[in-house]
A = this chain, B = another copy of it.
Amino acid sequence: MKIISLSKVEKYEVKMEGASGAWKQIPLGSKEGAPVFSYRVFSIEPGGHTPYHSHPYEHMNFVIEGSGVLVNEKGEEHPINAGDFAIVYPDEKHQYKNTSPDNVFRMICGVPVKYE
List chain B residues, Cβ under 8 A from A60: 28, 34, 37, 39, 110
A73-96 interface (Cβ within 8 A of B): 78-80, 83-90, 92, 94
In whole angstroms, what is the CA distance A39 to B78 when docked? 21
A35-61 interface (Cβ within 8 A of B): 35-37, 39, 57-58, 60
Contact count band on A: 35 or more
Grouping DSSP codes into helix (H, G, I), strand (E, B) and loop, the A interface class, with mixed when no group exceeds half, is strand
Q: Are B87 and A32 in contact (CB under 8 A)?
A: yes
Q: Are A3 and B94 in contact (CB under 8 A)?
A: no
Q: Are A1 and B92 in contact (CB under 8 A)?
A: yes
In whole angstroms, what is the CA distance A90 to B95 when docked? 34
